Structure 1
Amino acid sequence: MNEFDNPHFALPPVASGLGPFPHGPYLGTLWKHTASDQDELWIVGDDRGVVPFTVHGQVIRLVGDADLVDYRSPLGEGTADLITNAVSSCPPGMRIIADSLPRVAADVVAKGLESAGLRMSVGEHTVAAVLQLPDDFEDYLAMIGKKERHETRRKRRRYEAALGEVRFVHTPADGRLFDEFVALHRLSPGDKGSFMTKEMEAYFRELLSLEGWGIDALVDERDRMVAGGFAFENDDGYFLYNSAFDPVHSDVSPGVVLIAGLIELAIDRGARVFDFLKGDESYKFRLGAEPRQLYVVTAKT
């Protein structure tokens, strides 16, 4: 049993619509594959709630790199008091940083720090992009307006003329799709192409073994992946964690066809929300998403 198997991690987060990110299975996998030898795990919790911190030198953070964890939230109703009691025992000179927090979660963390007598600040961190889904894909196309609807359909027709019908397959048991996804990811230009190191590959591979995670692959007529979305699904919705496409086919807009297809899949599966997660790329908002502001709370003991 690892530290994240603790039943306290089954408590509900204080903020809603966060997918896998505040919960034990995800956090345990993240910690296993990304923590450094200098990181000390500090889980503050009891029956009232739980907050997972990591201590690195003079800095206390919530577990995990902000580039990998899209949402954070304390779990359970008593977490403000837990935070107060925990940080009150910290030596002077420690910096506390809690990022990627929805407003409700930021307020709880801030209350806990303030009750401990610390001077703290709450600032804007970044945004996520969240799309509320209708019941039908045609209703979605009507929702995004004439220009985007026309472009979505035009690029799909061009794709189909070159590569055949738009067709998706879900993660097979043999893992072939994962290997193809990793290979395509490494073909990406710039930082994205160098992101998928051997360590990241192992992290993503283990995520795929957890409940709710999967790859939806856009495939050609020979079942080869043209583009793929690595996502988590639960009752909250469809959370698109990562994606990749084959640059060989960039002239037929596989990324655009992929995203539109994933939105259609999510609607067909009954999702009420398609969450693009962190990032303010303009295409997300052209496709109907709304910004969800995330906050960072900082303090010093």
Structure 2
Amino acid sequence: MTAGVTARWGVPAFDLPPTAPGTGPFTSRAFLETWWAHRSRPDDELMLVACDDALLPLLRRADLVAFLGEQDLTDYHSPRGDDLTEVTRSLVAAADPGWQFSFNSVPEPAASLLQAALDASGVAATTTRRQAAAVIDLPATHDAYLEGIGKKQRHETRRKRRRFAEELGKPRLERRSGDEAVATFAAMHRLSPGDKALFMSSQMEGFFAGLHRDAGAVIDVVCGDGGEPVAAGFGFEDATGYYLYNSAFDPDAGAGSPGVVLVSLLIERAVTEGKAVFDFLKGDEPYKFRLGARERPLFEVTGRFGASP
């Protein structure tokens, strides 16, 4: 297959592995096509630059070329395939010299390979660290995980579970699915304080419903003795990891720390299932690192197609 630009979602290159491993659903056709259906603008141009060896899943918005998926909703961006030379040359040949590019949220090794491919294509580019994801490398057992987070945090995790049990009953983690599960999650999200409640508009709920229906997103809830959900996690999972995309809890149950208990139960289950990582995705909230996460740097590759190195 000769490299070229297409707007056809069925390109075989979507079957190639992501250039940056450990990027969950975010470079998959299912996630990106769902994002396009719910979040793209009428004037956006779909640009899937593909060949046998690689894929650049892009869009053009006015004079800017970027990866599909706004960075606030797409925690990782990456090409697919391990040789970006041909697809990058094809992109450069198709681009107007006045167009700019901004490839954000790119982990290694994809950022370096993309920079090298642009250099080889005669286009000046700059790679800058912008953000980081927070990732826990999981051990073989939950006891080993608790040992690794230290005495203070281990005590706090156990204390929060005891407090939950005292207030709400023994916590249970349950997998839910279907329209009702999405509605429960969205309604709980709207109970959040401040801007977080405003995030879950009807349009955003439709996007989350699409991710659950078409892109493999899973919904887990924590219940007490009453059987009603008091916290919910919206995430993705694959053979190697769980990716916590969003979460919410019922503020009326706040005395039982349901959000904290939700995360601790999700981590415990990921360990039990033999996952290698628990990925909190973007964000530098301190609690993630207290629970054992490390930073995974994310980079932005920027430039203008008409500029030479």
| 1:180 alignment counterpart | 184
Instruction: Give distance in 2, aligned partners of 1:208 and 1:232.
Output: 9
Which residue number corresponds to residue 79 of structure 2? 74
Alpha carbons 1:97, 1:299 under 8 Å: kept: yes
Q: Which of 37, 47, 55 is the matching residue for 1:50?
A: 55
Amino acid across the alignment from 1:54: L
Corresponding residue for 1:101? 106
Give the aligned partner of residue 164 of structure 1.
169
Determine whether 1:139 maps to 2:140.
no
Deviates more, 1:273-282 or 1:135-144: 135-144
Are residue 244 (structure 1) and residue 248 (structure 2) matched? yes
Name the CA distance, whole Å, in 1 between partners of 2:10 and 2:235. 22
In structure 1, what residue type is equivalent to 2:38? Answer: H
1:87-143 deviations in whole A, cap 9, x for unaligned?
A: 133222211000111121111211222122222100002000010111221221111
**Runs of at least 4 residues off by over 4 Å:** none
- Consecutive unaligned residues of structure 1, counting only runs of 5 or more, are none
Residue 291 of structure 1 deviates from its aligned partner by 0.3
Structure 1 residues 81-90 or 259-268, which shifts more?
A: 81-90
Relative to structure 1, the CA distance from residue 223 to residue 3 in structure 2 (aligned partners, 3 Å threshold; closer, same or farther) is farther
| Aligned counterparts of 1:244 and 1:284: Cα–Cα separation in 2 | 16
Which is further off, 176-185 or 84-93?
Answer: 84-93
SS, match of residue 5 in structure 1 = coil
| Residue identity opposite 1:52 in structure 2 | P
The normalised TM-score by structure 1 is 0.95
How many residues align? The count is: 299
Deviation at 1:85, TM superposition (A): 2.5
Shift of 1:211: 5.9
CA contact under 8 A between 1:120 and 1:300: conserved in structure 2? yes
Question: Quick check: 2:173–2:262 contact (8 Å CA) kept in 1?
Answer: no
Cα distance in 2, alignment partners of residues 76 and 213 from structure 1: 24
Task: Work out the CA distance in 2 between the residues paired with 1:108 and 1:4.
Answer: 24
Give the aligned residue type for 1:177: A
Matched with 2:4 is: none
Q: CA deviation at 1:77?
A: 2.6
Instruction: Provide the C-alpha distance between the structure 2 equivalents of 1:35 and 1:10, rounded to a whole number of angstroms.
Output: 23
Structure 1: how far apart are the matches of 2:228 and 2:274? Answer: 27
Does 2:226 align with 1:231? no
Q: Which amino acid aligns with 1:191?
A: D
Q: Give the letter aligned to residue 165 of structure 2.
A: E
Counterpart CA distance in 1 for 2:235 and 2:10 is: 22
**Which residue in the other structure is 1:256 paired with?**
260
| Residues 1:137 and 1:215: Cα distance change in structure 2 (over 3 Å) | same
1:231-289 Cα offsets, whole Å, 9 max, x none, are 11111211111100011112221111111011011112221110000111111001001
Q: Percent identity?
A: 42
**SS of residue paired to 1:22:** coil
* Pairwise CA distance, 1:208: 1.0
Give CA-to-partner distance per residue, 1:176-216, whole Å, 9 cap, x none: 22211110101111221111111111111111124642111
In 1, distance between residues paired with 2:260 and 2:132? 21
- Give the match for residue 277 of structure 1: 281
Identify the match of residue 201 of structure 1 among 205, 213, 218: 205
- Greater Cα offset, 106-115 or 141-150: 106-115
- Residues 244 and 279, structure 2, Cα contact 8 Å, conserved in 1: yes
Distance 1:165 1:97 in 2: 48
One-letter amino acid of the counterpart of residue 237, structure 1? G
The structure 1 residue matched to 2:89, chosen from 64, 72, 84, is 84
Unaligned runs of 5+ in 2: 1-6
1:72 maps to a residue whose letter is H
